[in-house]
Amino acid sequence: MIYECECRVCKRQFEEFARVEERDNIECCGVKALRLLPSSLQHMIEEKYQFNRNNGKETKWISSRQQYKKALKEEGLVDLSRRDMMSIKPFKDPYKQKRKEAVNRVFKQAQRDGIDKHKVGNFMKDVLKTGKGVQNV
């Protein structure tokens, strides 16, 4: 494996190929060199996340899971795991069935009165968009 190292004496940074068992024995200037964190992993240490507080009026930067949990607790929020998210049932509209029944009544009345169902459909769309004309139905 290739390790990134820094000499304790001359401060030179270099890469060294070594076996896993030999990684702690890399030397420079006769002294064991410091092993550096690979650049591919440095973002994990330096990464910070933006946490909005007070409905987005205040921003807090968080760099650890512990800080995140504390911020959630301060705001009175909870973190849901994926399993928790899957267990939440979708919202059921309590008025969906009543709206369906009302639309069916309108279409049946229009059919009895001999009105074309397409005209009634367009009328219903207008009623839903504008809210006007309900008293005419």
Question: SS3 string of the chain?
Answer: CEEEEECCCCCCEEEEECCHHHHHHCEECCEECEECCCHHHHHHHHCCEEEEECCCCEEEEECCHHHHHHHHHHHCCCCCCHHHHHHCCCCCCCCHHHHHHHHHHHHHHHHHHCCCHHHHHHHHHHHHHHCCCHHHC
Query: Which two tokens mark 115?
Result: 């009105």
Is residue 70 within 8 A of residue 77, CB to CB? The reply is: no
**Percent above pLDDT 70 for the chain:** 82
Going by pLDDT thresholds of 50, 70 and 90, the confidence category of residue 65 is: confident
pLDDT tens-place string over residues 90-122: 777 777 788 778 878 888 888 888 877 777 777
Average pLDDT of the chain is 77
Q: In the numeric block, which tokens belong to residue 55?
A: 């409905």
pLDDT for the residue numbered 10: 92
Per-residue pLDDT, averaged over 43-69, amounts to 74
Give whole-number Cα distances, 82 to 61, 87, 90, 120, in Å: 24, 9, 15, 45
Give the pLDDT of residue 136. 46
